[in-house]
Amino acid sequence: MTNIKEIAKRAGVSPSTASRALSGRGYVSEEKKRLVLAAAEEFDYAPNLNAVSLKTGSTRRIGLVAPRFAEPVSLFTSGLVRAAEANGYTVTLFMTGSDISKETEALEALRRKQVDALVFVVFWSDLSTIAEYVKYGPIVSWQRLVHEAIPSVFMNQYDGYTLALEHLYARGYRRICNVYGDSQRLNTQSRIEAFADFCRKYDLDPHACPSFQNTDTSGDGEKLVRWWLENGRPADAFACTNDWVASGIVAEARRSGLRIPEDFAVCGFDNLDFAHLLDLTTIHYPVDEQANNAFAIIRSRIEEIELPTRPPVFRLVERLTT
Amino acid sequence: MTNIKEIAKRAGVSPSTASRALSGRGYVSEEKKRLVLAAAEEFDYAPNLNAVSLKTGSTRRIGLVAPRFAEPVSLFTSGLVRAAEANGYTVTLFMTGSDISKETEALEALRRKQVDALVFVVFWSDLSTIAEYVKYGPIVSWQRLVHEAIPSVFMNQYDGYTLALEHLYARGYRRICNVYGDSQRLNTQSRIEAFADFCRKYDLDPHACPSFQNTDTSGDGEKLVRWWLENGRPADAFACTNDWVASGIVAEARRSGLRIPEDFAVCGFDNLDFAHLLDLTTIHYPVDEQANNAFAIIRSRIEEIELPTRPPVFRLVERLTT
DNA sequence: TTGTACGCGTTATCAA
DNA sequence: TTGATAACGCGTACAA
């Protein structure tokens, strides 16, 4: 393996001069620079990044921690990788499944200097556990949270959900069935608030229709249709926690011969790739921009510069299910 | 940052003994081992992995190269990460978009010892260019190819496509429209062969219905339905290159008031997450197992051991579109 | 503008 | 079974 010493020898300079010529940092005369570059070319030189990392204390690598990498995490992943690579960084994956101890492994990777920073998509560990590790490098969360040391690039789903509710109202739906996700999450709390405020604004009975929690798969959506049929059609619209639930509702409704939006309307959330295949009305949010923000926060901490982050905005995507 | 020297000093041993005690390699008396471990605990010691990598010449990190990380690559990614993590490896992402020069960057990362090995999902570079880099570490391809130095974990789509065709035949369809993907790929060639053999077997006219190439998005699928309507309904079944095309066909057919499978049947390929939402008959193949195989090949090369790989098999998933 | 000398933190070799 | 010593390959004070 040809190293920088050999290049230096071949170019007739010292290793430090070769280092400066190759990295572009420090003063080197044009003359010697040319010699070094020629030698590097000749010997097909490639720097050993492990040595660089050891010396500089920086890997230019950030870790992404998620239970798995399906949609919409895959979108976030792509966005993060794009932002990272554009700035000479690289992304390393840590998959936790639902195993809380795997989150610790990712944190340990940070401590062991395998990565310079960490992005958590979601996590189940205590916030305080995670916060202990910020001394080893920046940690950013996609999941919504409030903590001094751990910035989050979340979007306040109050706004997005309000968008969905207002749309359903404008379309004439009054008996809206709220299908919420994980009841522990702040996002769910925000959506519940949004619905309360919405009811107040239009003087609607918030209990006109039952609501559901911890309902987030397409299978859950299919069950909802059967529930609806067996309970006297108690709703004229479903506001769903995500597109999976909405898709399940649409699919099962079609199987049952129901017509959408005549029998009931369905509004999803996330605007996943397949949503337009089902003509699903849904709420879009720019995952890409959130990933960009996550990276910007990390980079500004690592490189100690001031980088702007743009607040991403929700957008209603009107299709045929409302 | 507390390093191994301090641990050694605290434990009253030499750094090399501390190293042996911590890594578990080499002889250390129980006595000293206990002392070292206690000191490590006390000082909250974590080894610097960059130093380890520099010294040992191995990063236990493998690179995954793909244009983007949407389905089905996200499945492969998850599978690869799972296999890797189970063996103390980690996965780093390289996203190429459609930029061929980014493939070179991934190859350079291998040369610069940022990763020990590389897995290409697809690539556009010359095979010979890639082959030049195998001297820096194992390279495996998911994309089908034939090359001495670059093993591939591809599945022969001849078998999968035959499964689809036989199913359509059994269901009574005789005018099958073949919708192929990238005409350059070996997979497409295999499917064309499969269809030729299929026609021969059942004495069908291979030109009873036109076929399409380079057709692989849901938008393309939607266009196909319009083509079908405008050209005298020339097919009674579509055998599609992937689920995206099939989904586009199903979606557009529904919008046009057509009935599936009465007006025509649709068979997809890949069995993506959303396929069951559209009740799409499709061909499933175990992406997970392919990822496992990719990792097994890499590990057997790196660690110079013999690891088995299992040939994955296709499976027909019968739903309501055929 | 260049070169010397050292250190980053670890593991491997080898002699004791 | 242990410890001294020498790398791994690079960047960078500091002196020249």
Check pLDDT > 90 for residue B40. yes
Nucleotides in chain C near protein beta carbons (<7 Å) = 1-5, 7-13
The answer on B278 and B187 residing in a single domain is yes
Least confident stretch, A292-301, B67-76, B292-301: B67-76
Contact list in B for residue A222 (CB cut-off 8 A) is none
Residue B29 CB closer than 7 angstroms to strand C? no
Asked whether residue B219 falls in the same domain as residue B147, the answer is: no
pLDDT tens profile A248-277 = 999 999 999 999 999 999 999 999 988 998
Q: What is the mean pLDDT of chain B?
A: 95
User: What integer pLDDT is reported at residue B25 of this predicted model?
Assistant: 83
Q: Are residues A40 and A63 in the same domain?
A: no
User: By the 8 A CB rule, do A308 and B281 touch?
Assistant: no
- Residue B318 in any domain: the answer is no
Whether nucleic acid strand D comes within 7 Å of the CB of A52, the answer is yes
Q: Is the CB of A47 under 7 A from strand D?
A: yes
Kindly report, residue by residue over B232-269, the tens digit of the pLDDT: 999 999 999 999 999 999 999 999 999 999 999 999 99
Is residue A102 very low, low, confident or very high in pLDDT (cuts 50, 70, 90)?
very high
Using an 8 Å Cβ cutoff, are A191 and A161 in contact?
A: yes
Nearest CA in chain B to A82: B95
Average pLDDT over residues A111-120: 98
Contact B309, B296 (CB under 8 A): yes
CA of A271 to C1' of C8 (A): 48
Nearest to A312 by CA among A193, A160, A210, A195: A160
Structural domain contains residue B317: no
Determine contact, residues A164/A269, Cβ cutoff 8 Å: yes
Work out if B80's Cβ lies within 7 angstroms of strand D: no
Asked whether the beta carbons of residue B70 and residue A68 sit closer than 8 angstroms, the reply is no
Strand D proximal to B152 Cβ, under 7 A: no
Token pair, residue B117, equals 């090995």
Nearest nucleotide to A14 (CA to C1') is C3
- Interface contact flag, A49 B114, Cβ < 8 Å: yes
Within a domain: A320: no
pLDDT grade for A24, boundaries at 50, 70 and 90: confident
Residue A322 lies in a domain: no
* Predicted confidence band of residue A243 (pLDDT cuts 50, 70, 90): very high
Q: Identify the residue whose Cα has the smallest distance to the C1' of D11.
A: A55
Higher pLDDT: B28 or B293? It is B293
B48 touches strand D (CB under 7 A): no
Whether any strand D atom is under 7 angstroms from the Cβ of B54: the reply reads yes
| B80 alpha-carbon distance from chain centroid | 8
Best probe of the B interface among A90, A96, A321, by most B CBs < 10 A, is: A90
Over residues B123-147, the pLDDT tens digits come to 999 999 999 999 999 999 999 999 9
CB contact under 8 A, B48 and A113: yes
- Residues of B (51-80) placing their beta carbon closer than 7 angstroms to any atom of strand C are 51-52, 54-56
Of A71, A97, A112, the CB nearest to B49: A112
pLDDT of residue A98: 85
Q: What is the pLDDT of residue B26?
A: 79
What is the predicted pLDDT for the residue at B79?
97
Q: Are the Cβ atoms of A93 and B93 closer than 8 angstroms?
A: yes
Contacts of B225 (CB under 8 A, 6+ apart): B248, B249, B252, B253, B256, B258
Contacts of B90 in chain A (CB under 8 A): 92-94, 109, 114
Same domain flag for B179 and B130: no
Does pLDDT of A95 surpass 90? yes
- Output the CA torsion sign for A190, A195, A200, A206: negative
- In sequence order, what are the residues at sequence separation of 6 or more whose Cβ sits closer than 8 angstroms to the Cβ of residue B66? B73, B77, B93, B94, B95, B96, B120, B121, B122
Mean pLDDT of chain A: 95
Domain range for residue A40?
A: 4-47
CB contact under 8 A, B247 and A85: no
Share of chain B above pLDDT 90, in %: 92
Is B52 within a domain?
A: no
CA of B39 to C1' of C12 (A): 23
Please check whether residues B25 and B168 belong to one and the same domain.
no
With contacts defined as CB-CB under 8 Å, which chain B residues touch A66?
Answer: none
Window 9-28 of chain A: CB closer than 7 A to strand D: 15-16, 19-20, 22-23, 25-26
Nearest nt to the A8 alpha carbon by C1': C3
Return the DSSP state at A65: E
Does B151 share its domain with B176?
Answer: no
In a shared domain, residues B233 and B175: yes
Enumerate the residues of chain B whose CB falls inside 8 A of the CB of residue A252: none
> Is the C-beta atom of A58 closer than 7 angstroms to strand D?
no
Q: Is residue A36 part of a domain?
A: yes
- Phi, psi angle pair for B127, to nearest 5°: -60, -35
Count up the domains in chain A and report the number. Answer: 3
Per-residue pLDDT tens over the stretch B90-114? 999 999 998 999 999 999 999 999 9
- Chosen from B22, B94, B114, B250 to mutate, greatest number of chain A CBs within 10 A: B114
pLDDT at A244: 95
Question: What residue of A is the nearest CA neighbor of B246?
Answer: A277
B24 pLDDT band, cuts 50/70/90, is confident
**pLDDT tens-digit profile of B61-71?**
999 999 999 88
Q: Is residue A138 part of a domain?
A: yes
Element (H, E) at A291: helix A287-302
Query: Left if phi > 0, otherwise alpha if psi is -120 to 50, otherwise beta: which for B57?
Result: left
The CATH number assigned to the domain holding B252 equals 3.40.50.2300
Within 8 A of A112 by CB-CB distance, chain B residues are: 46-49
Same domain as A200, residue A268 = yes
Q: Is residue A269 part of a domain?
A: yes
Note whether B183 and B117 are same-domain residues.
no
Which amino acid would we find at residue A311?
Answer: P
Is the pLDDT at A1 greater than 80, yes or no?
A: no
Same domain, B147 and B192: no
Number of H helices, E strands in chain A: 12, 9
| pLDDT number for residue B71 | 84
pLDDT tens-digit profile of A128-171?
Answer: 999 999 999 999 999 999 999 999 999 999 999 999 999 999 99
Give the torsion through C-alpha atoms of B281, B282, B287, B288, to 10 deg.
20
For residue A270, give the DSSP letter.
Answer: B
Same domain, A11 and A31: yes
Please state whether the peptide bond connecting residue B210 to the residue before it is cis, i.e. omega within 30 degrees of 0: no
More confident residue, B283 or A27: B283
Report residue B199: phi and psi, to 5°: -65, -40
- A115 and A165 together in one domain: no
Q: Beta carbon of B7 within 7 Å of strand D?
A: no
The β-bridge relationship of strands B315-317 and B282-284 is antiparallel
